[in-house]
Amino acid sequence: MSAWAVGTGCDNLPHTLPCSHQETATPISASPAITRATLLLSRCLLKMVKGNIIVPEDILSFCCNGLQGSTSPRRAREPEEREEAPGAMASPSPARNPTEVQMSQLVLPCHTNHRGELSTGQLLKWIDTAACLSAERHAGCPCVTASMDDIYFEHTISQPSVSPAGQRDRRSGVGVGQVVNIKAKVNRAFNSSMEVGIQVSYEDLCSGKHCSICKAYATFVAQGPLGSKVRLEPLTPQTEGEKIEYSIAAERRRMRLVHKDTLKDLLTSSSQETERETRDGSGAVPAERTRVESVELVLPPHANHQGNTFGGQIMAWMENVATIAASRLCHAHPTLRAIEMFHFRGPSQVGDRLVLKAIVNNSFKNSMEVGVCAEAYGQEMSVSRRHINSAFMTFVVLDQEGHPRTLPLLAPEPGDGERRYREASARKKIRLDRKYVVSCKQTEVPLSVPWDQSNKVYLSYNNVSALKMLVAKANWALAREKEKVRMYTLEEDRFLSFRIEMSVRVAAGRAFSLLSNLRRRHEWDSHYVSAELVQKVDDDDMIYHVVSQKLRNENKPQDFVILASRRKPCSKGDPYVVAFRSVTLPTHPARAEFTRGETLCSGFCIWPESEEMSKVAYYNQAMPGYLNYVTTNVAGLSSDICSTFEACEKFLLKNKEDLISRLQDF
C-alpha cells in the first residue's frame, strides 16, 4: 500500500483585571563585590535556618524586600546584540527572546507556611509578576491579566525533613534557603492580547538538583490611556521551540474562547443522577461545615502604580480561603494539586474590600474540588458587589510516603449544593480528559482516543497542535526532488516522518477547501475507496469513516475512523491547516470485513505564495508497523507517491473554478 494510504496517515478576550507591573528598573551593572556579598549573605541565611538560629527581623525584612528576583531592564537592543550576565557571572550565551524574563527567588521563612512549605499563594504572585513583566516588554505599555490556563503542581516546595536513618521525607521537595526559578516569555501576540508561557522550577543549592514545579500559560491584554485597547506588534519566533509555541498558541487561544461554552454544554447534557461512591456514607461531612468567608482590604502594597490590584495577589487570597475550606473537610493539611482555567471578570482598585468565599463542592476518593469566588465593593454597602473572579482548585492530602490519602465523603446541601456536587463531577472528567489529551506528549497518547462530548475540544486541539509541531521541526532532510515535487524525511525517536510539497497555480483558500473535503479524496487518491461523514463536531471538525484499498499481502481492505480538523490562518503568515488523526466511536466499532487501521498525525499545510499560487505540503508521521513500506518509497521516491501527488495537482487545477466546491465546507 502506498504511503499516501490512510494506514500510514495520509489522509476578543474581555478586558479584565488590571494587574500591571510596569517595569521601571534602571540599568545597573552589578559589580563582583556586590555579587559576592549577595552570595555570602545567602549562605549565611541558609546556615542560620538549618541551625534553627533566629534570624534578626531587620535582616529578614531586608532579605524579603531587597533580595527579590531581578529581571533584565528593558532597553532597545540591536538584533545581533547578545545580553550578558552581570559581573563575574558573565559568559557567552545565545541570543535570547527579547520578551524573556527570568526571575530567581530565594525561599525565606516569610515565604513559607507553618509546615515549612513555600506558600502556593506566594508562588502565584511570583508567577503573575514575571508573566506581566514579560508581556509589558513586548507591549511597551501596562498590561492586565485576562486569564490563566490550567496549572498542575508537580512538586511541593518544603523544608526537607530527615529521618533518624538519615533519609529525607519523600514528600519534601526543597526547603527554606533554596531557589525558585521562573522563566516567562511571550509566545504569540494577537490584536490586543498575547499569550505568555511560564516555566517554574526549583534548585537545591546544596546538591545542585533542579526539578520542575509547573508550567502555565497566561493571557494578558495591553491597555493604553484610560483603559483603551492597544494594537500589538506581531512577534517573530526565532528558534524551533519558539516556532512550535507560536504555532500552537493560536489553537490554545481557540480552546480558551470556547472553554465556557464547552463546559456549559457538558453540564447541561450530563445526567442529573450523579453516581455516588459506594463507600460507607455514615461519616459524610456536611458541605456547610467547609464554608469559608473572608474579607481583605486592598492597600497600596497590593496594587500597582495605577492603583489596580495585582492579579497574583487576588489568586493568593483565593488560595488561602480554599485551603481553609479543604482543611475543614479532611481535618489535615491539604496540598494544592491543580487550579482550573479561569478568567478575570473585572478590575479591583486600592480601597476596595474583597470578599472571598470558598466551599468544598465534591469529595472524590483521593481528591476534592473547592470552589472559590472573589467579589469587590467600596465603602458604600448599598452598591452591589462586583464579581472579580471564580476558580476551582483540586486538593489532596498526602501520607508519610507522599501518596494521596482516602478522603471523607461530602454530604452536599440541597438545591445549589447538589448542583455544585454534580458540576464538580463533570469538571473532574473534563480535567482528566484535558490533562490526558492536552498535557501528554504526543508519543504518550494512544493512536485512537475515544471521542465524546467532554473531550471534543481537546482532541481537536491535540490533532491540530500535533501537526503544527511536526511542521515546525527544523531537521528535515531533502530525500529526493523530481520535477516540481520535493520529498523530505525526519527521523526522530521511533518515528519516521516525511513531507511532500509542491507549488500549484491555485489560490491557497481554494486548495484548502478542496483538500479538506475527504469525501472527494477518492477523485485524486487511488488508495481511497470511500469516506463517509459520520459526525459533524462543528464547522471546522468532522469525523469520517474511511475505507481504503487492501494492503499488500492482506485479503481485506482497511478502514479508519478519522477526525479531520481544519483551521484558517489566524494571522498573516500562518498556513491553512488540515489535520487528521484516528479516534474511536461506539457507533463504528471494528468490523470483521475490514482491518482496522490507525493514524497518529498527518495532514496538509497550505501557504499562499501569491493570489493565484500556493505551496501545498503533506506531512505524515509513520508508525513502526509501516516503516518497512515507507522506507522503500523514501529510498527512490516511488512513482506511486509521485503519481499520487501529480494527481492531486490535476484535481486542484481542474476544480479551482468549481463554484459548488467553493461553497462546500467539507
Q: Which H/E stretch holds residue 632?
A: helix 627-636
Query: Stretch 469-483: mean pLDDT, rounded?
Result: 87
Dihedral, 329, 333, 336, 337 alpha carbons, nearest 10: -90
Burial 177-187 (b: 16+ CB within 10 A, else e): bbbbbbbbbbb
3-state helix, strand and coil shares in percent for the chain, rounded to the nearest 5: 30, 30, 40
Predicted structure pTM score: 0.75
AA identity, residue 472: A
Q: Determine contact, residues 638/490, Cβ cutoff 8 Å.
A: no
Question: Under DSSP, is residue 34 helix (H, G, I), strand (E, B) or coil?
Answer: helix
Q: Determine contact, residues 528/565, Cβ cutoff 8 Å.
A: no
* Inter-CA distances, 273 with 350, 421, 423, 564, Å: 45, 11, 11, 34
* pLDDT of residue 13 exceeding 70: no
* pLDDT of residue 27 exceeding 80: no
Query: Stretch 421-431: mean pLDDT, rounded?
Result: 85
Q: Which residue has the higher pLDDT, 630 or 472?
A: 472
Q: What is the pLDDT of residues 280-308, one digit of tens each?
A: 556 799 999 999 999 999 999 998 877 88
Query: Stretch 558-583: mean pLDDT, rounded?
Result: 93
Q: Which of 158-167, 176-185, 488-497, 547-556 has the lowest mean pLDDT?
A: 158-167
Listed ranges 76-80, 94-98, 149-153, 326-330; the one with the highest mean pLDDT: 326-330
Question: Cα–Cα distance between 597 and 561 in angstroms, integer?
Answer: 8
* pLDDT of residue 213 exceeding 60: yes
Question: Can you give the pLDDT at residue 113?
Answer: 85
Q: Going along 193-274, which residue ranges are E strands? A: 193-203, 210-222
Could you count the other beta carbons within 10 Å of the beta carbon of residue 262? 18
Average pLDDT score over the chain: 80
- Is the Cα dihedral 110, 113, 117, 123 positive or negative? negative
Question: Cα–Cα distance between 394 and 577 in angstroms, integer?
Answer: 36
Question: Cα–Cα distance between 324 and 7 in angstroms, integer?
Answer: 53
Two domains, one topology: 12-71+97-235 and 459-663: no
Query: Stretch 26-32: mean pLDDT, rounded?
Result: 46
Query: Stretch 484-497: mean pLDDT, rounded?
Result: 84
Q: Determine contact, residues 20/133, Cβ cutoff 8 Å.
A: no
Question: Can you give the pLDDT at residue 111?
Answer: 92
CB-neighbour burial class of residue 441 (10 A; exposed 0-12, middle 13-18, buried 19+)? exposed
Give CA angle at 236 (235, 237), nearest 5°. 115
Residue with the three cell numbers 486538593: 395
**Helical pair 639-655 and 508-515, crossing angle rounded to 10 deg:** 110
Choosing among 3.10.129.10, 3.40.47.10, 3.40.50.720, 3.10.20.30, the CATH entry for 12-71+97-235 is: 3.10.129.10
Residue with the three cell numbers 479584565: 16
Question: Cα–Cα distance between 211 and 639 in angstroms, integer?
Answer: 50
Query: Stretch 598-609: mean pLDDT, rounded?
Result: 93
Question: Cα–Cα distance between 562 and 447 in angstroms, integer?
Answer: 11
Question: Cα–Cα distance between 447 and 435 in angstroms, integer?
Answer: 16
Question: Can you give the pLDDT at residue 580?
Answer: 96
Query: Stretch 32-47: mean pLDDT, rounded?
Result: 55
Fold for domain 459-663? Alpha-D-Glucose-1,6-Bisphosphate; Chain A, domain 4 (3.30.530)
Residue with the three cell numbers 494544592: 336
* pLDDT of residue 263 exceeding 80: no
SS3 per residue for 384-451: CCEEEEEEEEEEECECCCCCECCCCCEECCCCHHHHHHHHHHHHHHHHHHHHHHHHCCHHHCCCCEEC
DSSP type of residue 658: -
Question: Cα–Cα distance between 248 and 657 in angstroms, integer?
Answer: 32
Residue 658's Cβ-side half-sphere holds a number of Cα atoms within 13 Å equal to: 14
Q: Per this entry, what is the length of the chain?
A: 666
* pLDDT of residue 576 exceeding 90: yes
Choosing among 1.10.10.10, 2.40.128.110, 3.10.129.10, 3.40.640.10, the CATH entry for 284-439 is: 3.10.129.10
Q: Which residue has the higher pLDDT, 634 or 510?
A: 510
Q: Going along 232-282, which residue ranges are E strands? A: none
- Grid cell in block for residue 441: 506528549
Question: Cα–Cα distance between 623 and 411 in angstroms, integer?
Answer: 49
Question: Can you give the pLDDT at residue 221?
Answer: 93
Q: Determine contact, residues 230/224, Cβ cutoff 8 Å.
A: yes
Q: What is the pLDDT of residues 111-130, one digit of tens each?
A: 998 888 899 999 999 999 99
Question: Cα–Cα distance between 21 and 142 in angstroms, integer?
Answer: 7
Q: Which residue has the higher pLDDT, 365 or 54?
A: 365
Question: Can you give the pLDDT at residue 11?
Answer: 40
* pLDDT of residue 76 exceeding 50: no
DSSP string, 83-114: ----GGG----PPPPTT-EEEEEE--GGGB-T
Could you count the other beta carbons within 10 Å of the beta carbon of residue 283? 9
Q: Where does the pLDDT of residue 15 fall: very low under 50, low under 70, confident under 90, or very high at 90 and above?
A: very low
* pLDDT of residue 241 exceeding 80: yes
> Residue 349 pairs with which residues in a beta bridge?
308
What are phi and psi for residue 441, nearest 5 degrees?
-70, 155
Q: What is the pLDDT of residues 368-425, one digit of tens each?
A: 999 999 999 998 766 789 999 999 999 999 988 889 999 999 999 999 999 999 889 8
Q: Which H/E stretch holds residue 363?
A: strand 353-363
Question: Can you give the pLDDT at residue 171?
Answer: 44
Q: Where does the pLDDT of residue 94 fall: very low under 50, low under 70, confident under 90, or very high at 90 and above?
A: low
Question: Can you give the pLDDT at residue 172?
Answer: 47
What residues does each domain of the chain span?
A: 12-71+97-235, 284-439, 459-663
Question: Can you give the pLDDT at residue 269?
Answer: 63
Query: Stretch 322-340: mean pLDDT, rounded?
Result: 95
Question: Under DSSP, is residue 309 helix (H, G, I), strand (E, B) or coil?
Answer: strand
